[in-house]
């Protein structure tokens, strides 16, 4: 298992981007580890790269994971972190009263949200059915509508 205790750099940095591009042309392994968007907030994480290498990530409080973080870079290989695309559930309340009830429910469930006009976008960190089940009474009564969006 490879221990990652710091972030080497950002794949968008022009010098590092060029280096990774050279690696790919020379046949040097550029491996990728994909994580859920919710895992970007974590400092400690066990993951497996796409080529099957086990990683233990243990970052200091000053460092944060981000899409494009270069986790490992030597003359023989590189490992780049990629965040999976965030999925969202758009929930639209019918009335102000429904909006207050929905907000109370969402807050009690500690769902990560953002707002878009009068809609609540709930970050999907698992199956959409799990989220739908929690708001099912409001959906059934027509007090809210919900659809998965990207």
SS3 128: helix
Q: What's the token pair of residue 7? A: 């972030």
Task: Report the distance separating Cα 49 and Cα 51, nearest Å.
Answer: 5
70, 9 contact by CB (below 8 A)? yes
The rounded mean pLDDT for the chain is: 93
- Please give the pLDDT value at position 25: 87
- Please give the pLDDT value at position 28: 83
10, 66 contact by CB (below 8 A)? yes
134: number of CA atoms within 13 Å, CB side?
20
- Please give the pLDDT value at position 29: 85
pTM: 0.69
For residue 39, what are the contacts with CB-CB under 8 A and spacing of at least 6?
Answer: 45, 65
Give 112-145 pLDDT, tens digit per residue. Answer: 999 998 899 999 988 999 999 999 999 999 999 9
- Could you tell me the sign of the dihedral formed by the alpha carbons of 21, 26, 28, 29, in that order? positive
Q: Does CATH place domain 2-83 in 2.60.260.20?
A: yes
Domain boundaries, the chain: 2-83, 87-149
Mean pLDDT along residues 21-31: 88
Mean pLDDT along residues 7-19: 94
Name the CATH superfamily, with its identifier, for domain 87-149: UreE, C-terminal domain (3.30.70.790)
Give 46-101 pLDDT, tens digit per residue. Answer: 999 999 999 999 999 999 999 999 999 999 999 999 998 889 999 999 999 999 99
Q: Given pLDDT bands bounded at 50, 70 and 90, which one contains residue 4?
A: very high
Burial class of residue 70 (count of CB atoms within 10 Å of its CB; 0-12, 13-18, 19+): buried
Task: Report the distance separating Cα 28 and Cα 66, nearest Å.
Answer: 23
- Please give the pLDDT value at position 74: 93
Q: Given pLDDT bands bounded at 50, 70 and 90, which one contains residue 150?
A: confident
Q: Which residue has the higher pLDDT, 103 or 125?
A: 103
């Amino acid at each position: 298992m490879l221990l990652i205790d710091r972030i080497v750099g950002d794949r968008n940095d022009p010098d590092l981007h060029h280096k990774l591009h050279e690696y790919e042309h020379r046949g040097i392994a550029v491996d990728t580890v994909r994580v859920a968007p919710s895992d970007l907030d974590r400092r400690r994480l066990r993951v497996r790269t796409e080529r099957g290498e086990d990683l233990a990530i243990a970052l200091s409080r000053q460092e944060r994971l981000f899409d494009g973080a270069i986790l490992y870079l030597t003359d023989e290989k590189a490992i780049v972190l990629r965040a999976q695309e965030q999925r969202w559930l758009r929930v639209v309340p019918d009335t102000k009263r429904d909006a207050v009830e929905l907000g109370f429910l969402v807050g009690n469930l500690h769902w990560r949200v953002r707002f878009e006009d009068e809609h609540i976008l709930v970050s999907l960190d698992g199956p959409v059915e799990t989220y739908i089940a929690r708001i099912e009474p409001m959906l059934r009564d027509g007090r809210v509508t919900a659809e998965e969006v990207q």
